[in-house]
Structure 1
Amino acid sequence: MSWRTKVVWSEGMLLQPQHLQQSERHADHARHVLLRSTTPYAWGFAELEIDQAALTLGKLALVRAVGIFGDGTVFDMPAVDPLPEPIDIPSSMRDEAVVLALPLRRAGAREADAEDYEELVRHRVLESEVPDSNTAGERTAMLQLGQLHTRLMRAGEATDAWTTMGVARVVERRTDNQVQLDRGMLPPLLDVAGHAVIRAWLDELLGLLRQRGEALAGRMTQGGTGGVAEIADFMLLQAVNRNEAIFAHLAKSAMLHPQHFFEHALGLAGDLSSFRDSRRVARFGPYVHDDLALSFRPVMDDLRRSLSMVFEQSAIRIELHDRKHGVRVAMVTDVELQRKATFVLAVNANMPSEALRARFPTQVKIGPVERIRDLVNLALPGVTLTPMPVAPRQIPFHTGANYFELETRNSDLWRQLEQSGGIAMHIAGDFPGLDLAFWAIRS
């Protein structure tokens, strides 16, 4: 016979306590199967509060605990069920978990005990006068009620006869009797709000997303290059905006299961990985309900790196100002930019692209402002322009434009720019509709 089989009720049957007990077991089992089948990881703490004062006395005790055991047993301490007795922490105990334990329901075993509190009995029996809630007056009846018989015990002491959930991990008991707990240990939870650490992670992610979104939006409103880098910024802003809305919703939810939070955190990590050098998401471990720190910490570390990357525009447009006699001047005050960036001149004119590509480098002089007159009048060579086969991906592409790279390496003229007032360009010859754009691309 199954210990959880449904009772067949019939008229005239002699009602025995076993009928009600069997019916209760069947109902409990059906509820547990339904919950387990429709809700993954439907066990853990909804609320958990440890007695901080007891820790100073070398003990671990609970102030409040609400949740569901792995076998489906619901508990609410101390509102419905009594709190377990505090556990003494010996000085020899180090790096060991303490669990909340409840005896498992076993076929044929006694489940309630009124007197000697046998260790493996699930319920303690107490008598209480209960009023009739459907009848007027003060009619009461003395009932025997069962309260869960839970214990706090060391994880190593729990056998297969118990269903357990981790409460805390003891680091050590110091010489002053103060019990030091591992603040990074997270018990199994039904709600993110049930533990300050994991709730802080949710708030941190939402804050980082908002900060990154504001920074990206600010860059977009400034007007950008229109190149691939700006498109990447726009796509990143799109991912940030989408996830910010999702995590804002999660933060306001009445209840948020850690697995649901973990799934969205993984999705965010995957979205952001596309914008990192590796272009691929890191390999994270699976969700482990009874070791949430093991699951969440690698993901949180990865998200912090992705959301805290330093912003730096890879392409900077440098304004060219017209001067007399066909001279244009650009100011570059950043010495590091002069030394390390690649400088590109985009040239467009109303003439065949091949002719522009061949003629322009021979009819332009580039050098420090102070030396441009000598370079032109004495026909001295300036900074060399080298045609580029394609437009650099960091800057916008324009049909018909030619792109030239300034040869800044090993150029005495270019080194003189560090003490110069700017870069000067003198363009000889006739280039109808000439349009220039000067760019510095960070390495």
Structure 2
Amino acid sequence: MSLLPDAVCWHEGMQLLPQHFQLQGLRAEALGAHLAQACNPWFWGVSHMEFDPSALSAGVVRVLSLQGTMPDGLPVDLQAGIGPALELDVSAAIDATDDATVTVYLAISPMWRAGQLLPLKGRLQSVVGDALPDLTSGEFPESITVWRPNPRLCTQLNKADSICLPLLKIRKEGGGFLPLTYTAPTPLLLPESALGRRIAGLCARAREKFLFLGGRLRQAQQAGNQDDALEIRRQLTALWARLPEVEGALSSRVAHPQSLYVHLLGLAGAWAALDPLAGVPAFAPLDFLELQRGYDVVLQWLETTLELIRAGYRSLPFERGEHSFSIQLPDEQPSQRLVIGLRMPNGASEQAAIDWLRGAIIASAPHIALLSRQRMSGLPHQVMSRSEQVAYSVGEDTRLFVITAEGTWFDAQLPLVIAAPAAKLTSSPWQVVLFVAQNSESA
């Protein structure tokens, strides 16, 4: 709560008024919220919420159940059928916005305004409670008039100075209304929540990579390939370093979003070893009102980094012509990262493969002639990093490269051509293959 009511100065013989007990009760509530905020500034939020899906599709937000704590420490527990229905038609509010999107809040009147305590009516509503017996004797039940929270639903257009808790975001599309991906502020991030399931999925995929790399390590050790074995051990160490912390925090069911976010940042630091030259971006501090946005950035980076370890792929051979290799790509995305392997004759060095591809022209078929006349190489390429190469089970005669396929010289709907260098080189590949990730990986 923003302000703390003064303590009542009790003394013998004083004339008791309702204000004495009201002020004392308000101070106790405010003091509890003050201490909770001192321990954790983000102690508030939604614990559970459920809306009527059929009403939501028509633009009406109708609360079926909601439990949580308002930012000023007031607990709320709402159930459909108990008290007035809590609902809001967002059609007019959406029409008044530029992007046809609104945020729906649970709002309640503030206790203070301009440094003055306000009457409780409006913030709370008085109701006659169930008959309550004397708690000492268990006898003489009497109905007592009590205060209960009096919340309402609003959007960002009319929340004014209310104490607000964001619940969901809604957009109007094609004449209908749909909720957007949004995680409301919450004091606990549970495994069954949308973010919790995504984190659990990331951890599960990481463990699949462990199984795959464990098999690759055994193969490298049996073959006496110490360089690959050393690289695989480094990757396994990076993957294992912080994963148990994330799994343990999530499965504890008491993890706060901020603490779990910090664990994920630690995991990102450990996984940076999978691509040391790329490093780790400077992730923004977590915004409690935009949990989904903050987590998305970190999780996307972790998911992309994990995919550097490919546990399943298939190879597609290029068709060999007189002076070129060509293939019709299986994917029609306008921008692609293509992994190719040059299978060289026995005894050919890695440098021979590098020299051959450096002198070749790489582009979609219609552009080869123009690039040849202009003595241009077409699409850029580079040698695959050592850390990524160990994930591909290829023979010693295969050299791996990465082609960045995008821009003027690339059309995914046309055959990709690698035209042989004009100069005659000592060694040239007898086959070129394209490596494509499987739809589902298996160890």
Compute the TM-score of the two structures, normalised by the length of structure 1: 0.65
What is residue 111 of structure 1 aligned with on the other side?
120
* Deviation of the 1:412 alpha carbon: 7.1
Equivalent residues of 1:63, 1:83 under 8 A apart: no
Work out the CA distance in 2 between the residues paired with 1:335 and 1:263: 39
Q: 1:305 to 1:292 in 2, by over 3 A?
A: same
Equivalent residues of 2:47, 2:68 under 8 A apart: yes
Q: 1:131 to 1:20 in 2, by over 3 A?
A: same
Question: Unaligned 5+ residue runs, structure 1?
Answer: 113-120, 313-333, 345-392, 395-408, 420-443
* Deviation of the 1:4 alpha carbon: 1.0
Equivalent residues of 2:105, 2:167 under 8 A apart: yes
Q: 1:246 to 1:17 in 2, by over 3 A?
A: same
* Deviation of the 1:36 alpha carbon: 1.0
**Alpha-carbon deviations, 1:295-330, whole Å to 9, x = none?**
111111101111111449xxxxxxxxxxxxxxxxxx
**Alpha-carbon deviations, 1:265-299, whole Å to 9, x = none?**
11111111232153421121110000112211111
Work out the CA distance in 2 between the residues paired with 1:83 and 1:308: 51
Q: 1:18 to 1:340 in 2, by over 3 A?
A: farther
Q: 1:194 to 1:268 in 2, by over 3 A?
A: closer
Structure 1 position 131 matched with structure 2 position 132:
yes
What is residue 108 of structure 2 aligned with on the other side?
102
Counterpart residue type for residue 178 of structure 2:
Q
Q: 1:215 to 1:341 in 2, by over 3 A?
A: farther
Structure 1 position 35 matched with structure 2 position 27:
no
What is residue 246 of structure 2 aligned with on the other side?
247
What is residue 381 of structure 1 aligned with on the other side?
none
Equivalent residues of 1:47, 1:194 under 8 A apart: no
What is residue 356 of structure 2 aligned with on the other side?
none
What is residue 165 of structure 2 aligned with on the other side?
165
Q: 1:167 to 1:9 in 2, by over 3 A?
A: same
Most deviating of 230-239 and 282-291: 230-239
**Alpha-carbon deviations, 1:188-230, whole Å to 9, x = none?**
1222239732122222221122112222222222243564553
Equivalent residues of 2:190, 2:196 under 8 A apart: yes
Q: 1:304 to 1:31 in 2, by over 3 A?
A: same
Q: Secondary structure at the match of 2:349?
A: strand
* Deviation of the 1:335 alpha carbon: 7.8
* Deviation of the 1:101 alpha carbon: 0.5
What is residue 50 of structure 2 aligned with on the other side?
49
**Alpha-carbon deviations, 1:116-159, whole Å to 9, x = none?**
xxxxx111101124322534454212211111111111112111
Q: Secondary structure at the match of 1:290?
A: helix
Alignment equivalent of 2:182, drawn from 176, 182, 185: 185
Equivalent residues of 2:206, 2:306 under 8 A apart: yes
Q: 1:336 to 1:75 in 2, by over 3 A?
A: same
* Deviation of the 1:103 alpha carbon: 0.7
* Deviation of the 1:249 alpha carbon: 1.4
Work out the CA distance in 2 between the residues paired with 1:79 and 1:243: 43
Q: 1:213 to 1:340 in 2, by over 3 A?
A: farther
* Deviation of the 1:82 alpha carbon: 4.7
**Alpha-carbon deviations, 1:98-129, whole Å to 9, x = none?**
111111102332112xxxxxxxx111101124
Work out the CA distance in 2 between the residues paired with 1:308 and 1:216: 13
**Alpha-carbon deviations, 1:63-89, whole Å to 9, x = none?**
111111111111122299857621112
Q: 1:293 to 1:335 in 2, by over 3 A?
A: closer
Q: 1:166 to 1:58 in 2, by over 3 A?
A: same
Question: Unaligned 5+ residue runs, structure 2?
Answer: 312-339, 351-385, 388-420, 432-443
Equivalent residues of 1:129, 1:140 under 8 A apart: no
Larger Rg: 1
Equivalent residues of 1:71, 1:163 under 8 A apart: yes
| Match runs of 1:411-430 below 5 Å | 414-415=427-428, 418=430
Equivalent residues of 1:104, 1:122 under 8 A apart: yes
Counterpart residue type for residue 177 of structure 2:
V
Q: Secondary structure at the match of 1:274?
A: helix
Work out the CA distance in 2 between the residues paired with 1:258 and 1:17: 41
Counterpart residue type for residue 343 of structure 2:
L
Equivalent residues of 1:5, 1:22 under 8 A apart: yes
Q: How many equivalent residue pairs?
A: 324
**Alpha-carbon deviations, 1:236-269, whole Å to 9, x = none?**
2123223332232123212222112211111111
Equivalent residues of 1:45, 1:65 under 8 A apart: yes
Equivalent residues of 2:190, 2:253 under 8 A apart: no
What is residue 72 of structure 1 aligned with on the other side?
73
Work out the CA distance in 2 between the residues paired with 1:212 and 1:174: 42
Alignment equivalent of 1:216, drawn from 197, 213, 217: 213
What is residue 200 of structure 1 aligned with on the other side?
197
Q: 1:245 to 1:108 in 2, by over 3 A?
A: closer
Counterpart residue type for residue 130 of structure 1:
A
Q: 1:255 to 1:337 in 2, by over 3 A?
A: same
Work out the CA distance in 2 between the residues paired with 1:8 and 1:339: 95
Q: Secondary structure at the match of 2:296?
A: helix
Q: Secondary structure at the match of 2:146?
A: strand
| Percent pairwise identity | 20
What is residue 284 of structure 2 aligned with on the other side?
285
Counterpart residue type for residue 179 of structure 1:
F
